[in-house]
Structure 1
Amino acid sequence: MSAAVLAAAPPRPAHRDPQVLRWLGAYTASTVGDSVYYLALSWAAVSSGSPAQAGLVMAVSAVPRALLLLFGGVIADRLGPRRVVLASDTARCLMTLGLAAVLLATSPGLWLLAAAALVFGAVDAVFLPAVGALPPRIAARDQLARVQGLRGLAYRMGSVLGAPLGGLAVATGGPASAFGAAGALFALSLPLLCALRLRPLPTGEKGEKADGPVLRDLADGLRHLRGHRVLGPLMITILLADLGFVGPLNVGLALLADQRGWGAPGIGWLLAGFGAGAGAASLLLAVRGRLPRAGTTLGWTMVLGAVAVAALAFAPRLPVAVAVAVAVGLLAGVSGALCHALVQTECDPAYLGRVSAVSSLGSLGLAPLGMPLTGAAAGLWGTGPVFVAGAAVCALSGAFALTVPSLRRAELPR
C-alpha cells in the first residue's frame, strides 16, 4: 500500500490499527529482549568478577548513551525512524547472539562484557530517539496519546516478563542461554518492523536527508525546541522530573528496604506496587485516548507524585510503603504518559527524533550517571533526606509546568 493511500485512509482506533499493532509487537519483543539481556549481562559479570566490577560493567553503557543520544536523534531524523530502529535491533540481535556463542565456547573476561555494554549503549543512543519518532508516522494525530498508553503497557509487560524469562534461561543454560533468548527476541521484532509502512512527513520529508553537517542539524533541532511555546518549557519540566525521580526510585528503594529490614522480598513488593500503578496509568490513557486539560493535569500529578515520593521514605511498614509505591507509580505514570503524548502531538515530525533525544537525555543519559552520588548521599545523611531532596526537584518540575501559561493550557487533540 502506497504512502498516499495510507495518508488518505480514515483513521482507525490505535488498538485496531494493524500498523500500530505491528509496531507494538516489535516494541514489546525488543523491550523483553532488553530485560533479558541486562539480566544475562549482570549474571555473567557477577560470575566473572567482584560485585564492584559487575556494577561497573552494568554502568558503562550509560556513558555512550549520554554522550551520543542527541546525535542519535539527528540520525533518526535524517535516515527515518523505521530504518534506524530496524538497524538497531539487527545490531543488538547479532551482538547478543555473538555473546551467547562466545560464552558457550569459552569464559570471557570482564573486558569483553564491558566492551559489549559500551556497544549496546551506543546502539541505544540511536535506537531510543528513533522509537520516539515512530508513532506519528504510523498513527493519526488524535490517536497518539492512546499509542503512548499502549507503549507504556508494553514497557511494563517487558519488565514483568523479561526478568523471570531471563532467570529461567540462566537457570537452564547459564548466561549463554539468556543471551541467546535476548537475541531471539530482538530477531522477532525485525519482520514486524519490516512490515511497517510510514505516513509521509507533513512538511515534505525534510527531516530525512543524509547531507550537511550533523552539528547543523542538531542546532536546528535545538532551535526548534527553544522557539516552541510548549516544547521548550516541556523539556525543562521533563529534565527536572527525571533528575529528581530516577535516583531515589532506582537506588533509594533498595537502601530503604535494607534499612527497614524488608530484604529482597520487600524490594520486589515495592517495585511491583510501582509497576502496578504505572501500568494502571498507561491503561487509563490507552482506553480513554486523551485526558482533558493535559498541561494542568501534568503539573498537578507531578506535584502530588513528589509528595508521594517523599512519603515513601517515612512509611513505617511494608504494606503502607507498597500502597504509597502504587500511588507513586500511578501519578508518575500519568505525568510521564502526558509528557510523551504532548511531545508527540506538539512536535513537527521532521524534528521528532532530535526532540525525543532531548526528552530522553535526563532519564536515560544524565540521571543514571548520578546514581552513585545518590548512594553516597544516602550513606552520609540517610534515605529520608535523599527522598525528600528528590521529591523537591520533582515538585519543582510540576510547579514550573503550572507557572508557564503555554504549557499549563496545552491540550491533546480530540
Structure 2
Amino acid sequence: MLSLLLVVSSGRMTPATVVRRFPYSSPYWPVLSNSLLRRILPGLTVSALGDGMAVVAVSWLALQLASPGQRGLWVAIAVAAYTVPSVVGTLVFGRVLGGRNGAQLAGWDATLRAGTLAAIPVAYLFGALSLGLYVTLLAVSSLLHSWGSAGRYTLIAEVLPVRDHLAGNAVLGIIAEMATIGGPPLAGLLISWGGAIWVIAIDAATFAVLALTYRLAVPAADRPAPAQTGASRTAGFGVIRRNRSLLGLLTLSFGFFFLFGPVYVALPLYITDELHASATLLGTYYMAFGAGALVGGLTVGYLRRRPLWVVTIGIVVGFGLTMLPLGLGAPVSLSLLSFAIGGAVWAPYMPTSMALFQRSTTAANRPQVLAANGAVTVVAVPAGTMLGGPLVSALGAHETLLFCAIAIIAFGVIATGLTVLHRLAPPVGDTERE
C-alpha cells in the first residue's frame, strides 16, 4: 500500500499499477483480443452450430433411407461413419500432414467436410443417394477429423503463450457446448420443415464458411512455417508411447470416455422402461447436462494456476460421483440436478487434458501427437456405447448406470495412485513440462 501511495504521489502511474477491471482481468481476454483468433472464432462458431445440427440429421436421414427392419443397424453405421474413420486418416496421412501448422490442418479438414457433405444433397436431388453412398460420403468426410481437431489446438499453442493455452482451449470447448445446446433443437425444427437432407446441406455450408475463414483470415504470411520432419505415419503414437506422462494421459482419456459410453444406451432405457416416461424427459436430461457443461466451460480459464494433472484426474472422480444418483434410482428432480452438475464437471476435462498435451510436446511433434490422441479417444465413446447393450441386458438399465458411476470413480482413484507413484519415481527421460 505504501509503494502504491508513493507511485500515485509521484505522478508516475503506470498500467501495471492500475487494478485491471473486467473484461481485461478475465483469463479469456488474451484469447478474444488476439487479432488472429478474433478473425477465426466466428467461423468456428458457425461450423460448430452446423455440426450440432448434424448430430440429429445424420441419424435421421439414415432412418429415412433404411428399410423398417434395418433402421437401427444403419443408424449405428451412419453415426460411426461420421467419426470413426478419422482413425484411418490419422495413420494414412501421417507422413503428409505431420509437421503442418494448425491453420492448414484445420482448413483442410473443413474443406474435405464441406465437399463430401455437399455431395450428399446433390446425390439426393439427382435420385442417386443410396445407403451405401451415404455412409461412404460420411466416412470420407471424417477422414481428417483428428487432424482438424489437432489443428485447432495446435493453432492455440502457436498464437498464445503457455499461460493462455487453457483459456484458449476453454473457448473452443465453450463454442462446442453452445452448439450442443442450440444445434439439435434447431435441427429438429429444420427437419420438420424441409427434411434432414437440407440440414446436411446447411452443415456442409458451415464447413465451407470455416474453410474460407482459415484461408482468408489466416493469410499465408501469418502462418507459422511447417516443421520439417521426416515423421512416419505413426510418429505421434511413437512419441506418446515413449513418454509415460502422455501415455498415462491418453489412457485416462480413453478409459473415461469408454466408461461413459454405456450411459447412451442405459439412460434412454432407464427412462422408458423403469420411469415409464417419454422422450421429452430424455431431452431434458441432455439439456440439463449441456447447460451444466456450458457453465463449467466458462470456469475453465480460472483453473490456470491449479496443477492441471490434479484437476484432470479430479474431474474423472468428480464426474463419477455425480452419476451415482442416477445409478441409485434417485428422484428425477435430484438426478436431473446431479446430471447438470455432472455436465459442469465434465466440461473442463478436454481443455485441461489438451493443455497438458500442449505443454508436453514440441512445435515439431505437436500436430502428430494431438492427432494420435484424437484418433484413439474418438473411438472410446462408440466402443463404450457398444458395450452398453450387453451390460443393460445382463444388469438392467439403472444398474448399468450405477456400474458406470462406480467404474469411473475407481478408474480415477487408480489413476491418482499411479500418478503419485510416477511423481515419486526418478525421471527416466519424460518430456513433460508442466
TM superposition score category, shorter chain reference: 0.7 to 0.9
Whole-angstrom distance in 2 between the partners of 1:363 and 1:66: 9
Deviation, 1:17, is 1.1
2:187 is matched with 166
Q: Which is bigger in relative contact order (C-alpha 8 A, separation at least 6)?
A: 1
1:291 CA displacement = 4.3
Instruction: Name the CA distance, whole Å, in 2 between partners of 1:412 and 1:192.
Output: 33
Output the CA distance in 2 between the equivalents of 1:274 and 1:296.
Answer: 23
User: Counterparts in 2 of 1:308-347, with a 5 A limit?
Assistant: 308-347=322-361
Look up the equivalent residue of 1:389 and give its one-letter code: F
CA 1:406–1:232: 2 relative to 1, 3 Å? farther
Question: Match for 2:65: what amino acid?
Answer: S
Secondary structure at the aligned position of 1:305 is classed as helix
2:162 corresponding residue in structure 1: 141
In 1, Cα distance between equivalents of 2:246 and 2:100: 23
Percent pairwise identity: 20
Letter in 2 for 1:90: T
- Residues 1:214 and 2:232 aligned together: yes
**CA separation in 1, counterparts of 2:135 and 2:82?**
8
Deviation, 1:263, is 1.8
Contact kept? 1:14, 1:20, Cα under 8 Å: yes
Map of 1:225 onto structure 2: 240
Match of 1:18 among 25, 28, 35: 35
Residues 334, 226 of structure 1: CA spacing in aligned structure 2 closer, same or farther, 3 A cutoff? Answer: same
TM-score, with structure 1 as normaliser: 0.84
Q: Which residue of 1 aligns with 2:281?
A: 266
Q: Which residue of 1 aligns with 2:291?
A: 276
CA distance in 2, matches of 1:325, 1:408: 33
Q: CA deviation at 1:374?
A: 1.0
1:136 deviation in Å?
0.6
Structure 1: gaps spanning 5 or more residues: 1-10
| Cα deviations by residue, 1:40-78 (Å, 9 ceiling, x for unpaired) | 322221112132233333233444233433555665433
Q: Provide the residue aligned with 1:8 in structure 2.
A: none
Structure 2 counterpart of 1:285, from 300, 318, 322? 300
Alpha-carbon distance between aligned partners in 1 of 2:334 and 2:423, rounded to the nearest angstrom: 33
Q: 1:153-187 CA distances to partner (integer Å, 9 max, x unpaired)?
A: 10011212222332233233223321221122112
Partner Cα separation in structure 2 for residue 278 and residue 298 of structure 1 = 15
Indicate yes or no: 2:111 matched with 1:90: yes
In structure 2, C-alpha distance between the alignment counterparts of 1:412 and 1:15, rounded to whole Å: 26
Deviations 1:294-349 (A, max 9, x none): 22222223212112223322233322121110121122223333212222223223
CA distance in 2, matches of 1:191, 1:117: 21
Report the AA paired with residue 291 of structure 2. Answer: A
- Contact between 2:65 and 2:130, CA under 8 Å: does it hold in 1? yes
1:4 paired residue number? none
Q: 1:381 maps to which residue? A: 395
Q: Structure 1: how far apart are the matches of 2:159 and 2:390?
A: 44
Query: How far apart are residue 135 of structure 1 and its match?
Result: 1.2
Matches within 5 A, 1:36-115: 36-49=53-66, 50=68, 51-52=71-72, 53-71=74-92, 75-106=96-127, 108-115=129-136
**Equivalent pair of 1:266/1:318 in contact (CA under 8 Å):** no
User: After the TM superposition, which of the residue ranges 120-129 and 90-99 deviates more from structure 2?
Assistant: 120-129
Greater Cα shift, 42-51 or 11-20: 11-20
- What amino acid is the match of 1:336? M
How many matched pairs? 392
Would the aligned equivalents of 2:317 and 2:412 in 1 still touch at CA under 8 Å? yes
| RMSD over aligned Cα atoms | 2.9
Give 2:218's match in structure 1, choosing from 191, 196, 202. Answer: 196
Greater CA radius of gyration, 1 or 2? 2
TM-score by length of 2: 0.81
